[in-house]
Each structure stands twice: as C-alpha cells, then as structure tokens.
Structure 1
Amino acid sequence: MGIGKRLATLPTKEQKTWQLISELSQLNHKLPARVWLPTAAFDHHVVRVPHTQAVVLNSKDKAPYIIYVEVLECERFETSGIPLRIPETCIRSARSVDNLLPECVGITAEQRAGSFSTVPNYDNDDEAWAVDDIGKLEVELPEGHTSSSDNISQFSVDSITSTESKEPVFIAVALKEPWQEKVRRIREGSPYGHLPNWRLLSVIVKCGDDLRQELLAFQVLSQLQSIWEQEHVPLWIKPYKILVMSSDSGMIEPVLNAVSLHQVRKQSQLSLLDYFLQEHGSYTTEAFLTAQCNFVESCAGYSLICYLLQVKDRHNGNILLDSEGHIIHIDFGFILSSSPRNLGFETSAFKLTSEFVDVMGGLDGDMFNYYKMLMLQGLIAARKHMEKVVQIVEIMQQGSHLPCFHGSSTIRYLKERFHMSLTEEQLQVLVEQMVDGSMRSITTKLYDGFQYFTNGIM
C-alpha cells in the first residue's frame, strides 16, 4: 500500500513502473519471511516477488498495480518454518551472462537467461504491442470512481531493461498468454522454481479506492452462486476475491486467462461470433459448442446479477471473456441505487446486445431458448432464498455511507426485484419481457456510444 501511494505522486506511467520495479526489488531483500497473501486458498510462505513482471495499471491519478508472488505451499502457516533464502542468479551484467559470482555455481544457463530474458520470442510484431494500449479505459470517468475495467483481466505484461540505453523498455506481450505459460516462464527464472511446493499467485493492489462496495458485490455473488449450486441450476458466475485493507485501499484477485470485450474487438477487429469461431472452431465442433454453452450459462448468470443488483456502467471494458467462452463482469462500482454521474443512461434490466444473441445462435436458436430458461430457473431459485441475499445488503447498509445506499428505499426495491407474489407462469412472462426489453434497449447503445466517444472503449 505504501508503494502504491508513492507511485501516485509520479507524473508518467513509465516513471511509476520503473519505481515499482525498483521498490519490489528492494522488498525481495526481506524475503522469504513469515508473510502470506490473504487472497490465496492455501497456507504458504511468500519467498519472492518477480519484480520485473509487475505492471502499473492505467489510472488517471492513482497507481493500481499488479504483482506476481512466488510462494511455497506448507502444511500450516503458523508452525511451518520459514524457507531458507536461496541467492538470486547473481549476474554481474547483462553483457557477460557467464561471468558468475562463486555462489551462483549450479544455476543452469536457462535460469541465468531467465533473469533477464523474461520476454518470450515472437515470430512477428503483430503479437506484441505497447503497454499503453492496455486498459486505456480510465480517461474521463465519474468523480470518485475509477473503473477497474481491464485491471482485473489477467493480461500478460513484461518489462525488461535495455542494456544499451539503461532505460526501461516496457513490452506487453500477446494478451492471451495462458496463465500456465506465465507460471512456467517465471518458474524457470526463479531460484525457488525447482522446489516441488513452489506456486505462483497474483494480486492487484489498489490505493485511493474504496473497495467495500466491491466486497458487498462479491458477498452477494458468492451467496447466489451457492444458491444456484444448491438448487442445481447450471448458471455460471465468477466472484473474484476482494480484500479491504482500509477505507481507501485493498487487494483484488485477478481473473485468469481473460480479456475484456473491448480488447477482443480492438485487437482482433472481429465480431464476437467471428472471434468465437476463430478461437474455438466451426459451428459443429465440440469445442465451439462447449464454448457457446459456457457463454450462455455465464450470460444468464450475469444477466440475473445485473438485474437483482442493478449493476450499471456495463461498457465493454467491464465485461471479460475467458478462454473457455464464459463472460465475467467486473467492476461493481455502481450497484443498487447509484449510477455513473447519475446519467440514468442504462435503463435496461441487463446488457444483452445483438452480438451476444448471435453467439447464442440467434433469436430462434435452441441456445437462446436455453438462456431464457436458465434465467427463469435462476430467478425461481434465488427467490426461494431471498432472505439470505437481502440480509447481506442490510448488514452492509448499517451506518454505511457507501454511494450504493443512496436513499432509504434501496432494500425495498431489492426485495421487489425478487417478485415474491408472482406465479411461475407470470415470472416466465416477466423474464421474456426483460430479455426483449434489454435486447431492444436504445439506452444500452447510447451508453456504449458515450463510452466510445469519451473513453475510446469499443
């Protein structure tokens, strides 16, 4: 958090990134230590931060950044001993990689090279582009709110130091570098990589942002996910972990192997359906049908989330697509009774564009009917357990000044969206009306247009 606050005082992204790498390098001198990353699901000790992999994310006046953390898994954090420090690869200069200090004997050539050559080779320039192209989404945003946008997407960015100019050169390699490939690359360059219990974690550090609303959204999403599993409704959502450190700082778990719809469109220049066909194969292949099914089940899940929580600011920088075809909504800065600049742009129940419908096989397709059926089943299941969802929101509202609780009727409106008095037949009509209204929504098109002209989000 201290690093994040110091970075925010620097004027350019390059200076911020250079400072971040420098400070993390210093941090490594104090590792391994009895410290752990609270967003992880297993006990471990942090042994090293591969500092050249860290990236400052785009933000107008703050400096959120993503770091990767090497850890050793252990039985119990409290009782396991702290791992011994293993010296770095100790290279004197990039020009003479083989001039090793005595304590570095035993490090392989690959490991030596790994400490400098962290950027994979690509056959052509089309596979790499500048960091500044990533997440240029936070240009002019509502006061008091910074869109997480592409921040949470796990794009791959690497930085290397040019040995000739001694200036940092920042290279963003292809967005779709799979997480396992990144793990392999960092492991090869790590002095701890040979250990069987070595693991790699990642986390986004945010300073100057209140993440309590994000945490509320995470808790509601987790509850609904649990309800749908319990009721055997195959809806798919991905609640990512939020750790609130203070009223203006915290950590976010990045979503792996996913890019924003904005980046998909910008980099591929394809429609969403054509991108699916390119990634997963033709209409009749098993890979395409699986990805299409994943898309429908996640789209239905997030449609209900957006309706129940009244999620706004749904531009294409805030919706991710993962490598299996699921969509994942990120950035819950505007929920319940708040909207960006109170523009009131997004009046539809959820975002359902013609591109989404095309991926589902069109209005007359079986998958589009499956989407509507899942919406109905998901709403019926959520309705049975309404109190569990409402309780979370009520608890968070007590004494809260969060913008999502603007006005006293927030809870009443939330309860109304569960439609407890309707029969299942009436609910089906309601779902049809919401789907139809969202599909035809002129306000969705207006908001997407507004985002494109003000922030360049495609």
Structure 2
Amino acid sequence: QEVLLKVKLQSGEVPADYPGCTSPPEKEESEEQQRQEEEEDQTTCSPSSPQEVVVTPSPSSSSSSSSKQSLLLRLFESKLFDVSMAISYMYKSKEPGVQAYLGNRLFGFPDDQVDFFLPQLLHMYVHMDPDLGDALQPYLVHRCGASVSFCLLSAWLLAACCSDSSLSAHRRSRGARLRKLILAPPLGHGPPAPDPGPSGPSGPSGPRSHQRSKSDTTAAGERPYEEAERVRPQRDFLRALVSIGRRLARLPSKEQRSARLSAELRLLNLSLPGRVWLPTAARPHHVVRLPPRQAVVLNSKDKAPYLLYVEVLDCEDLQTSALPLRIPETRLHHAHSAEELAPAGLGNLSAVVNYDDDDEAWATDDLGQLRVEGGSSDDLTSQFSVDSGTENAEPVYIAAGDIRRRLSESLALPPSSFRRDPEDPSALALKEPWAEKVRRIRESSPYGSLPTWRLLSVIVKCGDDLRQELVASQVLTQLQSIWALERVPLWVKPYKILVMSSDSGMIEPLVNAVSLHQVKKQSQLSLLDYFLQEHGSSSSEGFLSAQRNFVYSCAAYSLLCYLLQVKDRHNGNILLDSEGHLIHIDFGFILSSSPRNLGFETSAFKLTAEFVDVMGGALGDMFVYYKVLLLQGLLAARKHMDKILNIVEIMQQGSPLPCLQGPGSLRGLKERFLLSLTEEQLQLQVERMVEASLRSVTTRLYDGFQYLTNGIM
C-alpha cells in the first residue's frame, strides 16, 4: 500500500482505500468549495508547527501541487504512519517545511522506536543538507539532555562518522559541533522542542511539553565542564575496557593475553562500584565488579577481542539512585542485605584523568597507578593486601569455605563435555550453561547475596569498524519483526552492537552457544552425531525439538545471507546454541564486500551436507519444510521490503563503508527480492538456490582454506 500510495501521490491521485486519507473532491462539488479547500491547503504556519508540511506555493503553482501537499499531510496523520516511514520521507523530501514537521513528529514516537534508527538520524545530520540537520537538532539535543545513555550513543556514532577521511571539512565540523553541544552544553542551553500545536504529535498521556527549566538542566552557577561530569564516568569506564583490548593485541600468545587480562581487571575493580553501566543491557543498573578469572580472550589471529562477565546491581535510575558501598573481596560474608549498603564513600569514576587518547585511559602499562579520589583505605583493599602487616589495622578473617570456593572457581572444570584448550580458551567458558555460570559466580561474589544482583556479559572489540555489523543487525531485527507480523515461524537472534569509534565497540554475546568449529574440534563428531549426543536419539522429544529449532533458524539465516550477500561463512562464524538453533555472527562482509575483495563464496547461502543430515536427509520431511520456510520468509520480506531498503539506502549516502560503495550494492539488494517473479516462479527459484548452495564447490573450498590457514574446522 505504501508503494502504491507513493506512485499515486506523484500522479496526483488519491487511493480511496488508504486509511486516514479521504476521497478526492467529487466533480459535482462547487467551485467555491474547491477554492476554500485550496486556501486551507495553502495556509502557512510558524517553522515549529506541524502544519509546515503545507508549503505556500508560488503564484505560478498549479492546484495539483496543493492537492499533493494536502494528501501528504493526510498520510502523515494516518494511523499507519510510523517512525520508519517518517525517517524515509525525511530522507527523501527536499522541502524544509516537510523536514521540520517530521523532525517535530519524532517527539510523538516511543523512544525505543526512534532509538533503533539513531544511526540513520545521525548519518543524515552529518551527510545531508543543513535544513535537515536543523530539523533533527531539537529532538537530538532534547533526548541527549534527558538521557545520558542516548547522549553517549549519539556522541560515539558522531565520532565514528566524523573520523571518515572522505568527509568534507564542513560536514565534519557540523558533526563535531553537535557532539560538543550534547556532551557539554553551555549553561541553560537545550532548545525546547517545537510546540506541536493542537494537531501535533502526542504521547500516551497527551501532548508533551519539551521546555526544560533551568533547574532541569543545570543548577545555578554550574559551568559547561560540570555539566559534562554526568557522562565522564561512563566514558572513562568504557574507554578503559577498549584500552585493555588494545594492549592485549600487543602480546604474542593467548596465555600471556589471558594473564594480562585478569591483572587489568583486578586493577579496574579498584574503582568499582561506580555510576557506570553496560550499554548493551536493557534495565538500569550499576556495575559493581568484574570477575577477573572469568574473562576470556576470544579467537583472533591479529586482534584481541575478549569476553567479559560483569556483576551489576539493578537500580531505579542510573543518575539518581545511590551507589552501593564497595565490599572488599576479603569480606565475603559481611554484607547480607541491601540495608547494609550505605551510599558509597568511594569517589565516582570521574576522578580518573580523562585522556583523549583511548590508549591512555584509566590504566597504564605498569598496572598500579590508577588514581582514585575520595575513598578510604578500606575501600581500596584488594585480595592481595590481606597480609599487609600494617599496625593497628583491623584484622581480616577469611573462612576456610571461602578459600575452598575460590580455589574451586579458579581450578575446577565446570560441568561440560568440552576440554580446556590453550589455543581456544573461550570454548570451555562458552560451553558452560549460563544458569550454572551465574550460580557459580554469584556464590563467589561479595555482592552475590544481594537481591538485585545480576550477571551480564559483553564482548569488547578493537580494530574493527562495527558500523557495518550495526547495519546488518538492524536488517536482522527488521526481518524478525516482519516474519512475526506475517506469522512465518522463522527464528533469528539479533544482538546489540555498540559503536564507540570507527575501530572499536562492544557486542552483546549470545549465551549458551558455541561455534561449529568448537563443536567439531572438541567433540570430534559429525554435526548429526553431536545432536544425538546432546539431545538424545532421533525419535526422542529432545532431538525432534532441537531439529525443528535447527530448521527454523537455518532457513531464517539462509535468507539473511542471501539478501545481504553475507560472506566469510566459515564455521567459526556460525554458532549452535543449547536448544539446537543455528546462529550466524560476524557480518563484516556483506552486500558488495568480501574477504580480500575476491568474491570467492558464490553460493546464495551456506548449506552443507551436514546441515541436511541434521534435517533428516535430502528426502526427509524437515528438509522439505526448510524449503517451504524459505519461500514463505522471502514472500513476507518482499511484501515489506521498503523497511529493509530504507535502512541501507540512508546509510549509503556518503558512506565510506566498503559494503556500501557504489550504487550497485543497493540495486543488487532490490533485485534479490525478485519482485518480477510470481509465487510459482519464486518457488522454482528457491529450489534452484537450495540445490546450488548444497552442491557449491566454493563453500567447500573456503572451509578447506580456513582449516589450512587458521585451523578452523
């Protein structure tokens, strides 16, 4: 309907069946009625009014122009108009009035819906005309003033965007100005959102007022530097985590990296708890501890991404809730309830020098010069300072059970069929069931007895531009919502991506999942035999459930790989979870890019004989069902393809990302929806793609190449 409406809007027609749009004036209407309607359409408003979408035509303009503008306003006020359509029209419209109206409409959408398109909004702000930037700025500044998380996400994306060498100086300075404005706005700054007026957008509780008083933004006498203190602790904390990854990459062996990682985290723990949090988590919380022995370095030939486990305490509000008191490691049983945790005397994390160079943030190579202000000597006690011998110091007693538990934590193998592998230290940690890991870490944590305690995890990456991963994740999330809307039982697992710069960021890990490479290396079994070992005989309920999950997920990711042309599909980039789902990760090569630009993987998606064996063989019912799901999923995606194309098209504007270079990437994506084929023809095309992928020589050769060069099975 949306595509049809666009065509009819351009031709001056009105779709009679479109909700929210009235029928065009009948020919029998009097000329006086038509003249009155045209005068209403030509009414102009102040720049902040939503009616600005109706631009006064010049005297030479025809009445059809006014009619089109009126229809556009009706579309914007219809019930089907959502944030995706708003951003699409904002991108395509060249009228400042339309852009200003749509920028104002953003206030009426739920925050989480707008947050999904934050990369597109900031990309348009930097790369498109200043009128669009002026339309977006009130919303961006308002949201940044109201939310520290939104402010930091925007600042990091702007920093990544402005670091592109191909960006002009004018556009770079525009992005830099906005970044400075949202990070450290001057006293009393923060322009109020335009008054939406009586017919403007409203939230669930009616029209909102966006005027922020002086008391809401800064206290009397505050300076811009003090305003930045609200974001400084979190920026410093995440910079420290990235800096650790950069230092780990300089070490030659995985053993050295693992030992260094544990030592770095012990040092970092000296400044916790703090008013810091994991941006990949949904609920508000304060980070209280990073278990040093639980973090693991992931497989990478040249870089050192690492998996970090984080202990947090849930809170009501990140900025106003009192920080918990630091509990030294040697006093495991001294706090048993939340009532014993008074507000922390330890100074907040902003006491650490804020270096502009990420490599200098928080910790230094000599480990031990971290500067913390405002804390007592007891606050800074670590597990290494128990026998300090200081006179008049309060004796510390450690129960024998605590010692045994800590030794068990560091030495004992968690329940798992995997073995310790010095070349792949993450395999055993990832194989351990998440519930068991949470129980084990909670028992050994000084904060574990508190009711608001939770365990989170995050992957810290350095040396990779995650903006491409972010685009793929957005497409995956859109496909997930499309398939749910169309009731197609395909299964995918989107994960959160945090872009911190053009070469660093964080990724939400997938729990209870290991790579196919780790499965094959550790078990020395075929994929089908591994399924039988993990889930029972082929006729058991456990196996049949896992097999269905495998089919649902394999079909979904096959479509994603086909549409986005995902490459580098070796077995280290494909996971298998404990319920049988197949999950693709690492979307560093999509659309027009491939490893070393060779374009070697030519199949539509990765489908091996082992995958088919798990589905019951080429003649089995589940393999037939797999092909049915491919057809249903492609038909559903084709029906809503504009939602996917908009994500890619906006990010293509002036983008330096290899996957978006040239017009061919977007054109190829459109062509892969196969709009010219009937449903019967599409079914035959799906059959051909499955057959070609299953027999692909390049898939087998690429797997062999990865085994010979990187040891990936």
What SS does the aligned partner of 1:118 have?
Answer: helix
Is the Cα contact below 8 Å between 1:21 and 1:52 reproduced in 2? yes
What letter matches 2:498 in structure 1?
A: L
Match of 2:336 in 1: none
- Select which of 62, 65, 82 maps to 2:303: 62
What SS does the aligned partner of 1:53 have?
Answer: coil
1:2 aligns with 2:257: no
Is the Cα contact below 8 Å between 1:87 and 1:104 reproduced in 2? no
- CA drift of 1:176 comes to 2.2
Is the Cα contact below 8 Å between 2:555 and 2:630 reproduced in 1? yes
Q: Which range is displaced more, 243-252 or 178-187?
A: 178-187
Provide the TM-score with structure 1 as the length reference.
0.86
Identity %: 71
Instruction: Give the distance between the partners of 1:427 and 1:115, measured in 2 at CA.
Output: 59
- Select which of 312, 326, 345 maps to 1:71: 312
What letter matches 2:311 in structure 1?
A: E
- CA drift of 1:103 comes to 6.4
- CA drift of 1:247 comes to 0.3
1:404 aligns with 2:659: yes
Instruction: Give the distance between the partners of 1:318 and 1:59, measured in 2 at CA.
Output: 12
1:13 aligns with 2:254: yes
Is the Cα contact below 8 Å between 2:293 and 2:410 reproduced in 1? no
Match of 1:227 in 2: 482
1:309 aligns with 2:600: no
**Cα gap change, 1:64/1:369 in structure 2, threshold over 3 Å: closer, same or farther?**
same
- CA drift of 1:117 comes to 3.0
**Cα gap change, 1:416/1:123 in structure 2, threshold over 3 Å: closer, same or farther?**
closer
- CA drift of 1:9 comes to 2.7
What SS does the aligned partner of 1:193 have?
Answer: coil
**Cα gap change, 1:184/1:111 in structure 2, threshold over 3 Å: closer, same or farther?**
farther
- CA drift of 1:448 comes to 1.3
- CA drift of 1:119 comes to 3.6
Instruction: Give the distance between the partners of 1:127 and 1:410, measured in 2 at CA.
Output: 42
Instruction: Give the distance between the partners of 2:444 and 2:295, measured in 1 at CA.
Output: 15
**Cα gap change, 1:75/1:111 in structure 2, threshold over 3 Å: closer, same or farther?**
farther
Instruction: Give the distance between the partners of 1:290 and 1:181, measured in 2 at CA.
Output: 22
Is the Cα contact below 8 Å between 1:310 and 1:336 reproduced in 2? yes
| Per-residue CA distance 1:409-443 (angstroms, 9 max, x = gap) | 11111000011121111111111111111111111
Q: How does 1:257-406 map to 2 (within 5 A)?
A: 257-406=512-661
Is the Cα contact below 8 Å between 1:335 and 1:404 reproduced in 2? yes
1:436 aligns with 2:698: no
Q: RMSD of the TM alignment (CA)? A: 2.2
Instruction: Give the distance between the partners of 2:517 and 2:645, measured in 1 at CA.
Output: 33
- CA drift of 1:93 comes to 9.0
Count of residues in Structure 1 that have an aligned counterpart in Structure 2: 416
- CA drift of 1:447 comes to 1.3
What letter matches 2:406 in structure 1?
A: S
Is the Cα contact below 8 Å between 1:155 and 1:258 reproduced in 2? no
What letter matches 1:252 in structure 2?
A: I
Q: Which range is displaced more, 76-85 or 352-361?
A: 76-85
Instruction: Give the distance between the partners of 1:11 and 1:316, measured in 2 at CA.
Output: 24
Q: How does 1:99-114 map to 2 (within 5 A)?
A: 104=396, 109-114=400-405
**Cα gap change, 1:362/1:59 in structure 2, threshold over 3 Å: closer, same or farther?**
closer
Give the unaligned 5+ runs of structure 2. Answer: 1-241, 332-382, 388-392
- CA drift of 1:120 comes to 5.9
| Per-residue CA distance 1:5-58 (angstroms, 9 max, x = gap) | 222233333332222211211111111111010000111010111112122223
Larger Cα-atom Rg:
2
Is the Cα contact below 8 Å between 1:243 and 1:250 reproduced in 2? yes
- CA drift of 1:207 comes to 1.2
- CA drift of 1:94 comes to 11
Instruction: Give the distance between the partners of 2:473 and 2:416, measured in 1 at CA.
Output: 39
**Cα gap change, 1:116/1:102 in structure 2, threshold over 3 Å: closer, same or farther?**
farther
Match of 1:121 in 2: 412
Q: How does 1:139-154 map to 2 (within 5 A)?
A: none
Is the Cα contact below 8 Å between 1:113 and 1:189 reproduced in 2? no
Give the unaligned 5+ runs of structure 1. Answer: 96-100, 135-153, 158-174
Q: How does 1:421-432 map to 2 (within 5 A)?
A: 421-432=676-687
Provide the TM-score with structure 2 as the length reference.
0.56
What SS does the aligned partner of 1:206 have?
Answer: strand
What letter matches 1:55 in structure 2?
A: V
What letter matches 1:36 in structure 2?
A: W
What SS does the aligned partner of 2:269 have?
Answer: helix
What letter matches 1:10 in structure 2?
A: L
Q: Which range is displaced more, 444-453 or 371-380?
A: 444-453
**Cα gap change, 1:133/1:18 in structure 2, threshold over 3 Å: closer, same or farther?**
closer
1:451 aligns with 2:451: no
What letter matches 1:317 in structure 2?
A: G
What SS does the aligned partner of 1:223 have?
Answer: helix
- CA drift of 1:2 comes to 1.8
**Cα gap change, 1:127/1:219 in structure 2, threshold over 3 Å: closer, same or farther?**
closer
What SS does the aligned partner of 1:132 have?
Answer: coil
What SS does the aligned partner of 1:251 have?
Answer: strand
Match of 2:272 in 1: 31
